[in-house]
Structure 1
Amino acid sequence: MAAAVAAARAGRSTLLVERYGFLGGMGTAAGVTNFCGLHANVHGDIRRVVHGVASDLLERIDRLGGLNAPHALFGKTVAQAYDTAAYKIAADDLMASAGVHLLFHALGAGVIMDSPRRLKALLVETKSGRRAIVGRCFIDASGDGDLAAWAGVPFDKGDGNGNMLYPSTMFRLNGIDPGRAGKAWEVIPGLMLKAESEHRYRFPRKTPIVRPQKSGIEWRVNLTQLANAQGNAMDGTDADELTQAEVLGRRQIAEVAGFLREVPGFERSYIVDIAPQVGIRETRRVRGLYRLTESDVLDCASFDDTIGVNGWPLELHMKGDVEFRWPKIPESRGFNHLPYRMVVPEGADNLWVAGRCASMSHEAQSAARVTGICFVMGQAAGTAADLALAGGRTAAEVDTAILQARLESQGAFLGRDD
């Protein structure tokens, strides 16, 4: 969305291709219902560090009454919940205001190349049949790096040993008594331990995320973990494993929802929504001109070609649990720069990647895959595509000083001034 808005506002004819009938990616289709990565803990002071197109979207969600105030996480940062229905309506409005053309219910199926380094068209399957969408610039924001992979760009998966971040299926409960539930997220971990010790439940992972939505009677639940028969993370690019993951996720949800009805205030709760699809955290990571690393995140690295910042910690969804690793807080500034080179893939002249499929190590991707950082990469990619066309340049040849000036004029924070 951020890429499309940035390109369209620059005056470019822009088409956003979406497999579903609504926008939002994992935020709506996978029911995340929670913006992570919009803020950073800067020397102990939690600040909003992602602006630009993201602000335009959040303001629209807020006007529809669908945006929560930021809530504390671990005493170190904040996240911000939203209503998925409001998000979908706000996203439509944002695209219309920017002049973005939309093609819904279109599933990418392949590419046509002009040359080994240049894409000519994206092939899509639609209800009207197969189409070829011809363009001069392409931005792969598929999450899975589909377009880049079809174009022959090299990529990596997992930690080098085949281990990817585990996916989850999100769901929401209604019918909660907010007065009795209180800060239920503080007592639920202890109740889980007790239930397991009594051999009444076996949870797929130890760390629960159970939080209220805008209305206190509705809560979101993130407590599933989806493994294949070998115990490894389900692969979101494997059709058979993705099918198995959908079924397993709903089975785990039924168990978790039954347990939660034992929590004070949740006795009359019921499942009001299961996300339309499994929430995928990691599949392909496209190899770019620079690969963001774990030390870049934890050491709050700076880059001359910064396009924005990441203030989210490493969030490693490993077998049976979630591990968070943080920069030094409050000693550090709490964010790392995101270099332009991480959205420029190797061996492709008119292609950019934005989102969780950008050029990162397995560990760094666990931080920079979250929504706020995806907004940063998308806005930069859309803006860079306009500059490339204007100057007759390849993606790698875009003048980053000009790109940075354009991004800052759009309200983006690049982290060059704490």
Structure 2
Amino acid sequence: MFGTLTESPRQTPVLDEVDVLVLGGGPAGLAAAASAAQSGARTLLVERYGFLGGMGTAAGVTNFCGLHANVHGTLRQVVHGVAGDLLSRIDALGGLNTPHLLFGGRIAAQAYDTAAFKIAADELLAASGARVLLHAWIAGVSMRDEANLEAVFVETKSGRFAIRARCFIDCTGDGDVAAWAGAPYEKGADGHEMMYPSTMMRIGGVNPEHAGEAWASVAALMEQASARGERFARKGPILRPQKNSTEWRANVSQLARPDGGPVDGTDALQLSAAEAEGRRQAAHFMRFLRRDVPGFEQAYLVDLPPQIGVRETRRVLGDYQLSEQDVLSCASFDDSIGVNGWMVEEHVAGNVSFRWPHGTETAEGRAASRGYNQLPWRMLLPRGLDNLLTAGRCASMTHGGQSAARVSGSCFVMGQAAGTGAALALAQNSVPRRIEFAALQSQLQSNGAFLGLEGENTPNAI
């Protein structure tokens, strides 16, 4: 830094006053805004890009993880509600693939086309009654008192504005609003080390007949190339076809600082360097594919997304922290708002470490484990703040817990609960921490959510 400058005082115009203000338009933000609006709250969603979808579009993830769980040995879709509405809209646009199996059938994911996701998200929010402000960068907050926000400041092409709300939902991924409001938070496993980001790739020109099940052989081909002296940023590649079988996605890069640690997605200088490094790794991987992988001889890069894919930055400390042990033990909570069926997927230096819920390691174990943990309402409630909720990867989780429940399925669950709970708190003239919780669970279930409660119908197998 080169010192400081003093800016002139200014009067910031108030652009809008709403009941619920949702910050961030990824899966959590989409579900939060749609649910709050459907519950009768005047709702506005603010998003920095010109489209919605979060990491699912802006970072080119192109597949939903965590929609399914291995329930007593059978794969079932366990995330419904708003997520189900969005999936139906993507499917109607011809952009949704059928679920595909991973790790020998132990879990499933579901690919989609990013263009269809963007359009479906627009349709979802329009149908809910929520309004959207795009191309707006969150720039700060104003506090009414120590426990309550008054407004959020945004920067736009039209200038700087304030937006007042009665209740706020931070779905920024990085916990920006919560951090500005003074909420405590953690980063990484030891206070500073986080999971490594990646640059996603979409690849066209693939010959699907020759490529076959290339996802099963690409790791071995990379090892052979490494033995010849070629260097890859990480092991554990993901290479899979999209809806159009000539188009595939690749998740194989890993973005590090010069000292080898993970890039911090809240550091502008590190982000800037990582973008260029991600593109360099993408070009290198394309050369490898065309040279060594059958069916990819004429392949080309269709798209590199607008930003790198960030997995972990701030984790806001709430009334409860979801832990890795909660995930591995398939924990239950009295204040369940839905479930997470994804395993711990920790992106460590040069590799990906997977840890599965207890009872899913063997065929016999799979028959005994329900395969999912419940997500508690308390993980959405930042300590010391009354009119702010967090949902998505910045919610209250340990590093290990977030390594599982950061994926899109869990984000949909948290977002739907946050939006529904925010509207319910306002209707009860209360704050989210003190709502009549049975009413929240009842409303979530009536809107299609699966909470994993005793006696609740188990979702159908996929």
User: TM over 0.5: same fold?
Assistant: yes
Provide the residue aligned with 1:359 in structure 2. 396
**How do 1:201-280 residues align onto structure 2 when only pairs under 5 Å count?**
201-261=230-290, 262-280=292-310
Question: How far is the alpha carbon of 1:158 from its aligned partner?
Answer: 0.3
SS, match of residue 135 in structure 1: strand
Tell me the distance in 1 between the aligned counterparts of 2:299 and 2:288: 11
Give the drift of 1:393: 1.1
**How big is the alpha-carbon RMSD for the aligned residues of Structure 1 and Structure 2?**
0.7
Please name the residue that 1:412 is paired with.
449
User: How far does residue 387 in structure 1 lie from its aligned partner after superposition?
Assistant: 1.0
How many residue pairs align between the two structures? 417
User: 2:75 is paired with a residue of what secondary structure?
Assistant: strand
Q: Which amino acid aligns with 2:148?
A: R
Deviations 1:186-227 (A, max 9, x none): 11111000001011x200001100000001100000000000
Stretches (4+) displaced over 6 A: none
**CA distance in 2: counterparts of 1:222 and 1:195, whole angstroms:** 18
Q: CA separation in 1, counterparts of 2:145 and 2:434?
A: 18
2:298 is paired with a residue whose SS is coil
Which amino acid in the other structure matches residue 353 of structure 2? Answer: E
Q: 1:76 aligns with which of 106, 115, 131?
A: 106
1:102-113, aligned counterparts within 5 Å? 102-113=132-143
Q: Distance in 2 between matches of 1:378 and 1:71?
A: 25
Identity of aligned residues (%): 62
- Residue 408 of structure 2 corresponds to 371
Corresponding residue number in structure 2 for 1:158: 188
1:386 pairs with 2:415: no
Q: What displacement does 1:38 show?
A: 0.2
Offset of residue 52 of structure 1? 0.2
The offset of 1:333, in angstroms, is 0.4
Distance, in Å, in 1 between the alignment partners of 2:139 and 2:286 is 37
Give the partner amino acid of 1:224: S
In the alignment, residue 123 of structure 1 is paired with which amino acid? Answer: F
Q: Separation in 2 of the partners of 1:141 and 1:65?
A: 28
Q: Determine the C-alpha separation between the residues in 1 that align with 2:382 and 2:123.
A: 31
Which residues of structure 2 form unaligned runs of 5+? 1-29, 361-365
Question: How many angstroms does 1:161 deviate by?
Answer: 4.7
Structure 2 residue 319 is matched with structure 1 residue 289: yes
**Structure-2 residue corresponding to 1:197:** 227
| Shift of residue 399, structure 1, vs aligned partner | 1.8
Matched AA of 2:46: V
Q: Indicate the SS of the match to 1:385.
A: helix
Residue 140 of structure 1 pairs with residue 170 of structure 2: yes
- The Cα offsets for residues 25-61 of structure 1, whole Å up to 9 and x where unpaired, read as 0000000000000000001000000000000000000
Q: Deviations over 1:249-280 (max 9, x none)?
A: 00111101110112000000000100110000
1:298 aligns with 2:328: yes
TM-score, length-normalised on structure 2?
0.90
CA displacement at 1:347 relative to structure 2 = 0.7
1:100: Cα distance to partner?
1.0
Using the alignment, how far apart are the partners of 1:210 and 1:62 within structure 2? 22
- When the two structures are superposed, what TM-score results if normalisation uses the length of structure 1? 0.99
Alignment of 1:336-351 (within 5 A): 336-351=373-388
Q: Residues of 2 paired with 1:162 and 1:142: CA distance?
A: 19
SS class of match (2:217): helix
Distance 2:438 2:316 in 1: 24
